[in-house]
Structure 1
């Protein structure tokens, strides 16, 4: 199993915003800290906004911030927004399934249970649990640190 780049970056964006709770951050700051393209992040930020995880403000002084406290953002919920449209295996997609053994295959049942267990574990984790007391992450994602680093690259 492998997560998509979008899911990975979505979690980085949310963690960056959680470390900088109470501040509106700019996409370029997130891109710098998360080692991502600002254009690619734009798509992800848009999805996170539509999913109810982020508030976005346009224009001068605009940016993004969490739409609810980190303790109320569930990691499983975030993963479902970005991973749900991708079937885990061919047989999970009614439209694209060409597997001849699908009607009698027991592997699909086992895979379904495994995926359910995977999401059940993620459902027990809040964004707050990923960032609270994580001094290494706080150091990497602290906005003042990010701004210093971006000035050094300029």
Structure 2
């Protein structure tokens, strides 16, 4: 199984916003920190906005921020939204299925159960679980560079 780029970016955008929960952040800062193209990021931010995960503000001081509390954002639900248009296998898409085994194949039911178990596991994970106490993530997604003392050691900002 492999997640789409958009699903991966959606998680990155939300983690970035969560690390900067009291700020309005710019898409360009997210793109740079998350190694993402501005075009893909804009599409993802639009979808996140439509589903209420982020609120956006246009204009000179515009940007985006979380649209709901971190504890209310289920990673499983997020993944379902972004992966729903991508069939896991050919037989999962009635429109494009050409598999000659579809009528008799039992594999699909096992795959469906496995996918549901995957999403159920992620349903229990919130954005807060990914961000709270994750100092490494906070350092990577920081908008300001870390301060270095005369000995080359990182210091508190």
**Pair 1:64-2:95 in alignment:** no
Distance 2:61 2:39 in 1: 19
TM-score (norm 1): 0.92
User: Aligned pair 1:35/2:35, yes or no?
Assistant: yes
- Structure 1 position 84, deviation (Å): 0.4
Matching residue of 2:138: 138
Structure index of larger Rg: 2
TM-fit CA distance, 1:145: 3.2
**What is the CA deviation profile of residues 54-89 of structure 1, one whole-angstrom value per residue up to 9, with x for unaligned ones?**
001000100000000111100011111110001101
The alignment partner of 1:64 has SS state of: strand
Q: Which runs of 5+ in 2 are unaligned?
A: 147-157
> Which of 35-44 and 6-15 deviates more?
35-44
Q: Which residue of 1 aligns with 2:155?
A: none
How much is the aligned-residue C-alpha RMSD, in angstroms? 1.1
* Moved beyond 3 Å, runs of 4+: none
Partner of 2:93 in structure 1?
Answer: 93
Unaligned runs of 5+ in 1: 147-154
TM-score (norm 2): 0.90
Q: Between Structure 1 and Structure 2, how many residues are aligned? A: 146
Decide which structure has greater helix share. 1
